[in-house]
Amino acid sequence: MLKKIHKAIDAQYPEMVEIRRYLHQYPELSFQEYKTAKYIAEFYEELGIPYKTNVGGNGVVATLKGGKAGKTVALRADFDGLPIQDEKDVPYKSKVEGVMHACGHDGHTTTLLTLAKVMKNYQEELPGTIVFLHQPAEEYAPGGAKPMIEDGALEGVDAVFGTHLWATTPLGVLQTSKDVFMAGADRFTITVQGKGGHGAYPHETKDAIVIGSQLVSQLQQIVSRRIDPLETAVLTIGQFEAGSAFNVIADTATLVGTVRYLEPEIQDIVISEMEKIIEGVCVSNDVTYAFDYKKGYPPLKNHSEEAELVLKASDNIEEIHTREEVIPVMGGEDFAYYTMERPGAYFFTGANKDGNPYPHHHPKFDFDERALPIAAKTLINAYFAYQEK
């Protein structure tokens, strides 16, 4: 049966490309994906597959109940874009100013829609039930996964699988992990309130830029000097905003950054050490401060048995020539919430386009569309493998 399904997926390739390129031209930001959600819902309406809209926000959940008894397995795709100007010179370049699909979510959505169309034709032969989870707002915490789960998206679901088209991995390579696969991702903001003044009279001021610079330097010592070298953590300052003129000493500085970690105890250490350093630097400089730390997505931890199913399920997909168990990546993913609730696994489908050097979230990001049917085949293979578990 899988051979027939694979052939049917391949036959849909021209339409997959068409869908993906349409979605790529009309991206929408996290929590604003109204037109995309409508497009997805109308697709299921035409297929005659029951669906629900407004699940946990703009989420769409469709359910295909097979003609044979079996387990209920959810397959997930996200569909939000990013606030990035598309700089690619391609016919399907984003038509929305300042917004683009720079992470492959248009491809994820295409994969799931096509799989639903194909499997509708095999409904009577299908064991169990496929739940198609179309999730908004993956890119921006608090994300879309948690609200969807709270709204009942996983009710009755036995297991959940998902994939990410990974544009830095070669086509034909599948990657996953049997444990922690992606990092926890937090965000913080530090505001230093000093005392501004004339650039010629620094002794009369409390220079927020100098103090902020001390924080940038000392916060890096948390990872280099206060975390066990055998553990993993990242602390990045991504924004430093202060000052208004070349000859004015700034009274306020704002630092915004991210923390990445694999284990909860490391997260605790980083937060504690940040509080000590920020307080120490600011007290010693006689200024006040505000420290706002927001815990984001937890680490994405695969279940060992389900990850093994993905690896074995890819054996009979001829386009996949390499299967790898990899070390965790430090990017974050709110798929983590699904595997906290149900057995499941997340995996990368290699999608590098002709050696394209541009990574995810880059203005010239793109992926090889030949990865679309590979992703669909791997997802449905994992589905059937779980049925036989």
Nearest to 131 by CA among 102, 107, 163, 154: 154
Residues of the chain with pLDDT > 70, as a percent, come to 100
pTM: 0.95
Q: Given the residues 138, 158, 207, 251, select the one marked as catalytic.
A: 138
Domain co-membership, 141 together with 87: yes
**The domain containing residue 39 runs over which residues?**
2-182+299-387
Domain co-membership, 256 together with 363: no
CA separation for the pair 350, 172 (Å, rounded): 6
Domain co-membership, 154 together with 199: no
**Residue at a domain's end among 297, 332, 360:** 297
Enter the tokens of residue 301: 């931890």
138 given a catalytic annotation = yes
Q: Given the residues 28, 78, 80, 306, select the one marked as catalytic.
A: 80
324 given a catalytic annotation = no
Domain co-membership, 116 together with 41: yes
Annotated binding residues for Mn(2+), written as ranges, equal: 103, 105, 139, 164, 361
Annotated binding residues, written as ranges, equal: 103, 105, 139, 164, 361
**pLDDT digit string, tens, across residues 62-120:** 999 999 999 999 999 999 999 999 999 999 999 999 999 999 999 999 999 999 999 99
pLDDT of residue 356 exceeding 90, the answer is no
Length of the chain counted residue by residue: 389
Domain co-membership, 136 together with 230: no
DSSP state of 52: E
Q: How many domains does the chain contain in total?
A: 2
Domain co-membership, 149 together with 50: yes
**pLDDT digit string, tens, across residues 124-148:** 999 999 999 999 999 999 999 999 9
**pLDDT digit string, tens, across residues 196-241:** 999 999 999 999 999 999 999 999 999 999 999 999 999 999 999 9
DSSP lists the bridge partners of residue 242 as: 253
* Residue whose structure tokens are 């690896």: 311
CA separation for the pair 236, 220 (Å, rounded): 8
Nearest to 332 by CA among 85, 142, 83, 56: 142
Q: What is the pLDDT of residue 389?
A: 87
Domain co-membership, 161 together with 267: no
Domain co-membership, 62 together with 176: yes
Nearest to 163 by CA among 380, 312, 13, 384: 380
DSSP lists the bridge partners of residue 68 as: 127
Domain co-membership, 306 together with 276: no
**Residue at a domain's end among 279, 297, 315:** 297
Domain co-membership, 165 together with 191: no
Quick one: 103 exposed, middle or buried, by C-beta within 10 A (0-12, 13-18, 19+)? buried
**pLDDT digit string, tens, across residues 294-347:** 999 999 999 999 999 999 999 989 999 999 999 999 999 999 999 999 999 999
Domain co-membership, 7 together with 104: yes
Pairing of strands 344-350, 159-166: parallel
Q: What is the pLDDT of residue 80?
A: 98
Domain co-membership, 64 together with 133: yes
- Domain at 240, CATH number: 3.30.70.360
**Residue at a domain's end among 254, 277, 297:** 297
Q: What is the pLDDT of residue 274?
A: 98
Enter the tokens of residue 284: 């010693």
Pairing of strands 59-65, 344-350: unpaired
Q: Which residues contact 331 (CB under 8 A, 6 or more apart)?
A: 182, 183, 185, 360
Kindly compute the dihedral angle of the four CA atoms of residues 336, 337, 340, 342, in this order, to the nearest 10 degrees.
-110
- Domain at 383, CATH number: 3.40.630.10
